Structure 1
């Protein structure tokens, strides 16, 4: 008898690539100058190309025009990593595990905010409960980055934030961004 775990069960999540392996992949792709240069860059909005990630993961090469960002979001329970290939990105994140269901508005405690700058070659791995936003704060330069997630994103929750108040605004499914 063969047992196959659901793609979103805990057994399946632990079977795929680790966050560290996803980060190694993202850094490796980010160092591929020819691939990075092949991404068409739009002056108005983000551009992206889907990549084959390791071990069944989902991966993306993303172009960021000056002044663009993702807004606050999570990755629906997937772990992941990203690395900057060119330009610079800022990640703002929350150092707290949020409940995934049963709330619309949360007041965040003091001291949970984190921020890091990611220059070319630098990256970040994260676990299943990571909430963040990624920004290209440059006034005049594009950035390009590589992102990988396992399991492939089942959904993304989008949040708004006013001061210490985080509000769940929308739940997106893959068909909305692929």
Structure 2
């Protein structure tokens, strides 16, 4: 992660090495941001309270933005090959919230330091199809 001199932005580069690389559902605490796909493609999924998640492929050259209330999941698009993304956060990412389902079916949030690797926590449901 790189921060600008004023401490207003944080930039991350992520390499998605396998189709199984999955962030699980998460938020970015107090940070807004954008993700730019440099190479390959990622599957971007938004959590819905009723019904299946909404998912779409985001391909090289495309970008999506989010605010601090956004809960989503990302994984490499199956079969996309080597994938690289650039993530920009403002203010710099200090914490993420990772989501899971309790045994009683309740949504739970677990705070995770920004340096921690995001991965699914407990049942996450089936990923959306292509």
TM-score (ref. length: structure 1): 0.55
1:168 is aligned, of 99, 105, 108, to: 108
Deviation readout 1:70-93 (Å, 9 max, x if unpaired): 111000021111011001101001
**CA 1:109–1:119: 2 relative to 1, 3 Å:** same
- Of structures 1 and 2, the one scoring higher in RCO (CA 8 A, sep 6+) is 2
Q: What residue number does 1:114 align with?
A: 54
1:86 equivalent in alignment to 2:27? no
Q: What residue number does 1:72 align with?
A: 25
Query: Which structure would you say has the larger Rg?
Result: 1
Aligned-residue RMSD, C-alpha: 2.6
More strand by share: 2
Gaps of 5+ in 1: 1-49, 96-107
The CA distance in 2 between the partners of 1:160 and 1:147, in whole Å, is 23
**CA 1:83–1:156: 2 relative to 1, 3 Å:** same
Deviation readout 1:46-73 (Å, 9 max, x if unpaired): xxxx234596211101100121111110
2:90 is aligned, of 127, 150, 170, to: 150
Gaps of 5+ in 2: 118-130
TM-score (ref. length: structure 2): 0.73
More helix by share: 1
Runs of at least 4 residues off by over 3 Å: 51-55, 174-177
**CA 1:140–1:114: 2 relative to 1, 3 Å:** closer
